[in-house]
Chains A and B, each alone.
Chain A
Amino acid sequence: MSALSVALTGNPNTGKSTIFNELTGARQKIGNWPGVTVDKKVGVIEHNGRKISVIDLPGTYSINARSQEEQVVSDYFKENKPDIVVNIIDAANIARNLFLTIQLMENGIPLILNLNMIDEAERHGIKIDMKKLEDAFGMPVTNTVGRSNKSVRKLLDVFTNAVMSNYKPSKLISEHIDKVHNIKRSGLSAAKIEEEIISARYDLIDKIMAQAVTVSAAGKTLTEKLDSFLANGVSSLLFMVAIFYLMFQIAFNWIGQPLADLVGEFFDETLAPAVAESMAEAGVADWMQSLVSDGIIAGVGAVINFVPLIFTLFLCLSFLDGTGYMARVAFIMDPIMRRAGLSGKGIMPLIMGFGCGVPAIMGARALDTHKDRMISILVTPFLTCNAKVPVLMLFAAMFFPDNAANIVFAMYFLGIAVAILMAKVLSTTTFKEHQSTFLLELPPYRLPDIKTVLLEAWEKGKGYLIKAGTIIFAMSVMIWFLSNFNSDGMTEDMDTSYLAGIGSAASTVFAPQGFDTWEAGAAVVTGIMAKEAVVSTMGILYGTDELSTEDEDLEDSANTLMATSLGGAFTPLAALAFMVFTQLYSPCMTALGTIKKETQSWKWMAFAFFYTCAVAWVASLIVYQGGKLLGFE
């Protein structure tokens, strides 16, 4: 017998993914649908000796193809005939959820209705008579209880036993379908026809609700009580800041960074010496030893270091998302975001941008309109990601020892200000014709399902790991080659290396900014690979081997460097201009790759590179020349 194909469909916030994860566990594959960036998930399981392949379709309110998700679901049903389609319904929100159900039935798709979180609905005073609902539709109705694995596993029996051909749409449904056909033939305008059909669907829902559902008035729900603090008035912003402060503490101070330090220690103190030793023993050629130790391990290690941080951050974000709080953040930030030409939903990817631009750029896919997605992607690189912090801290400590914290804070602020300004510019120029909208369901607060949170964090974070093994690996080899070779072969003297040549070529454009040394040029170029490389390149080129990027050691590093040639290579004003440039210029290579992937366009990737460089060049020019006019050096 061939595998039984089961498709899960339903509105967003119905617990559909939780049911999918419960059914398939970790045996799921995620692949992109061709042409769009919305994920499809497939999991294959075996039950009672029968193979079942379960497909999780994106959550949608309808299948009118107005959004990417709707397009995916609509195309799926045009091209596939799954044996069973399960329509997952949030029982507490049955009235609106049935809209999709009816639309699917109009398209002749046989369904099993599954009322999820039936326990929550009963607590809210919503009683659903399953038998009457079954009669009203002429389709089988099942139910599941939120967070009960047993009730979800029970669905598998329903799948293997269901014979969809035994069910026939009820008279109520077939009358509705006739009515829809009549509206379509009425000769009204397309928009009018659509509106009439929508009204007809809600008329039918009201009839079915009257037959099978009783709603008794419940008191204030927990969600309403929480929302009067978390999503109401100006105080809601304070709660938000506190919640995100806590999240960043967890990710950067309590869990993520300590784990990252352990990984870094392993690379530097265990793996690197062990590899170096075994290569030396095996008599591997010197250049090969240098490539592996100074190139690959150093380069890939720098990226692997960030993995614990990124996963912790994703875990926190997936958890918050699962509680329903993220919708409130979008809600309370909309007034601010709107003034920058964005929608409130755009805040989420930007907040992630303070950690790392890569997940921030990926996160933009959840936004509603093309305009919102593009602007979000294009302004994220201006924010102070984790990797820029060492650069800022080092320069601030060296050149502005009395005001270091203020200078770093000013750079954060500069990044935010430029991001908002460019969002405004982009929304009034390049994307002028596109409209930004804000219409968002505020789902009830729920305790998220841990399995779903873990799986989501893993799905989002693993792309970063893959990149460490591919792009970063290749880049590390290239940088190593460029800094150790010239046209005569391998060289000990970096001043004659290819990198010096590239650096001095790059530095010519920085003459008006006062930092036109080849070392600064090389640092800028390597910084495109990864922003941390600005600091390590400076360290290598100015002759301090052990330049640390850890906060507490930065002061030492600063003193060391000050005593060497770096202190003399920059005036304080040129250093400030260099910091401004570093804060704003090109996204790193990984981020550029992500922009290419998300926009599906080399052109937009190139645009992101050139326009951020242009903005950075102009901003640092203003700082340097403006500073000189005011009499600073």
Chain B
Amino acid sequence: MTLKDTKPGMTVRIDSVGESNLKQRLMTMGLIPGTRVEVLNSAPLGDPIAIRLRSYNLAMRRDDAAQIEVSEVG
């Protein structure tokens, strides 16, 4: 599953950040394998999405989220 396929309210753990132009920026913002991510709300039409990680909220586009492999946690 990728972060793109998640729904608001889900909590997931990052398995890999994937390869993209944004990779280093995503990692700098704390998206590292093992990080817990809560999926919050989304903009009109469902894109971009807002997520919560490391006690702060971040918005990103679904296309970029599609690069990030995640698995659901309790």
CB contacts (< 8 Å) of B50 on chain A: these are 227, 231, 331, 442
* B30 & A438 in contact (Cβ 8 Å cutoff): no
CB contacts (< 8 Å) of B26 on chain A: these are 439
Q: A95, A231, A443: which contacts B30 (Cβ < 8 A)?
A: A95
1/0 contact string of B21-43 vs chain A (CB within 8 Å): 11111111110110100001111
Q: Verify if A27 is at the interface (C-beta below 8 Å from B).
A: no
* Residues B17-74 near A (CB distance < 8 A): 21-30, 32-33, 35, 40-45, 47-48, 50, 54-61, 64
* A64 & B59 in contact (Cβ 8 Å cutoff): no
CB contacts (< 8 Å) of B56 on chain A: these are 92-93, 95-96, 441, 443
Given contacts A199-B32, A331-B50, A435-B21, contact A442 B57 (CB under 8 A): yes
Q: How far is the CB of A43 from chain B (nearest CB, A)?
A: 29
Q: How far is the CB of A224 from chain B (nearest CB, A)?
A: 7
* A441 & B58 in contact (Cβ 8 Å cutoff): yes
Q: How far is the CB of A22 from chain B (nearest CB, A)?
A: 24
* B41 & A227 in contact (Cβ 8 Å cutoff): yes
* B24 & A236 in contact (Cβ 8 Å cutoff): no
Q: What CA separation (Å) do A194 and B60 show in the bound complex?
A: 22
Q: B40, B43, B54, B58: which contacts A332 (Cβ < 8 A)?
A: B43
* A331 & B48 in contact (Cβ 8 Å cutoff): yes
* B44 & A332 in contact (Cβ 8 Å cutoff): yes
Q: Verify if A45 is at the interface (C-beta below 8 Å from B).
A: no
* A442 & B58 in contact (Cβ 8 Å cutoff): yes
Given contacts A61-B29, A64-B28, A439-B25, contact A237 B55 (CB under 8 A): no
Q: Which of B23, B56, B60, B64 has the most CB of A within 10 A?
A: B56
> Range of interface residues on chain A?
35 or more
Q: Verify if A437 is at the interface (C-beta below 8 Å from B).
A: yes
Q: How far is the CB of B7 from chain A (nearest CB, A)?
A: 13
Given contacts A332-B43, A442-B50, contact A64 B60 (CB under 8 A): no
* A442 & B32 in contact (Cβ 8 Å cutoff): no
* A442 & B59 in contact (Cβ 8 Å cutoff): yes
Q: Verify if A144 is at the interface (C-beta below 8 Å from B).
A: no
Q: How far is the CB of A631 from chain B (nearest CB, A)?
A: 42
Q: What CA separation (Å) do A99 and B29 show in the bound complex?
A: 9
Q: How far is the CB of A98 from chain B (nearest CB, A)?
A: 10
CB contacts (< 8 Å) of A93 on chain B: these are 54-56
* B44 & A236 in contact (Cβ 8 Å cutoff): yes
Q: Verify if A232 is at the interface (C-beta below 8 Å from B).
A: yes
Q: What CA separation (Å) do A334 and B49 show in the bound complex?
A: 10
Closest A residue to B41 using CB positions = A232
Given contacts A92-B55, A224-B40, A438-B60, contact A202 B30 (CB under 8 A): yes
* Residues A439-465 near B (CB distance < 8 A): 439-444
* B60 & A236 in contact (Cβ 8 Å cutoff): no
Main secondary structure, interface of A, reads: helix
* A237 & B44 in contact (Cβ 8 Å cutoff): yes
Q: What CA separation (Å) do A99 and B26 show in the bound complex?
A: 13
CB contacts (< 8 Å) of A332 on chain B: these are 43-44
Q: Verify if A150 is at the interface (C-beta below 8 Å from B).
A: no
Given contacts A99-B30, A441-B58, contact A195 B43 (CB under 8 A): no
* A202 & B43 in contact (Cβ 8 Å cutoff): no
Given contacts A228-B41, A438-B60, A439-B59, contact A195 B24 (CB under 8 A): yes
Given contacts A61-B28, A202-B32, contact A234 B44 (CB under 8 A): yes
Q: How far is the CB of B46 from chain A (nearest CB, A)?
A: 8
Q: Verify if A233 is at the interface (C-beta below 8 Å from B).
A: yes
CB contacts (< 8 Å) of A61 on chain B: these are 28-29
Q: B48, B54, B57: which contacts A334 (Cβ < 8 A)?
A: B48
CB contacts (< 8 Å) of B23 on chain A: these are 191, 195
1/0 contact string of A68-87 vs chain B (CB within 8 Å): 00000000000000000000
Closest A residue to B49 using CB positions = A331
CB contacts (< 8 Å) of B29 on chain A: these are 61, 96, 439, 441
Q: What CA separation (Å) do A231 and B45 show in the bound complex?
A: 12
CB contacts (< 8 Å) of A94 on chain B: these are 55
Q: What CA separation (Å) do A376 and B46 show in the bound complex?
A: 25
* A96 & B30 in contact (Cβ 8 Å cutoff): yes
Q: What CA separation (Å) do A347 and B59 show in the bound complex?
A: 16
Q: Verify if A126 is at the interface (C-beta below 8 Å from B).
A: yes
Q: What CA separation (Å) do A435 and B22 show in the bound complex?
A: 11
CB contacts (< 8 Å) of A92 on chain B: these are 55-56
Q: What CA separation (Å) do A126 and B30 show in the bound complex?
A: 18
* A439 & B44 in contact (Cβ 8 Å cutoff): no
Q: Verify if A62 is at the interface (C-beta below 8 Å from B).
A: yes
Q: What CA separation (Å) do A227 and B39 show in the bound complex?
A: 13
List of 9 A-B pairs having minimum Cβ-Cβ separation, nearest first = A232-B41, A95-B54, A442-B57, A198-B27, A93-B56, A234-B44, A332-B43, A440-B59, A202-B32
- A66-B25, A99-B30, A202-B32 known; 15 new pairs, CB 8 Å cut-off, are A64-B28, A66-B24, A93-B55, A95-B55, A96-B55, A124-B55, A191-B24, A195-B24, A202-B27, A202-B35, A327-B59, A332-B43, A438-B59, A439-B29, A441-B57
What are 16 A-B pairs with beta-carbon distances under 8 A? A92-B56, A93-B56, A95-B55, A227-B40, A231-B50, A232-B43, A233-B43, A331-B43, A331-B48, A344-B43, A437-B22, A439-B59, A439-B64, A440-B59, A441-B57, A441-B59
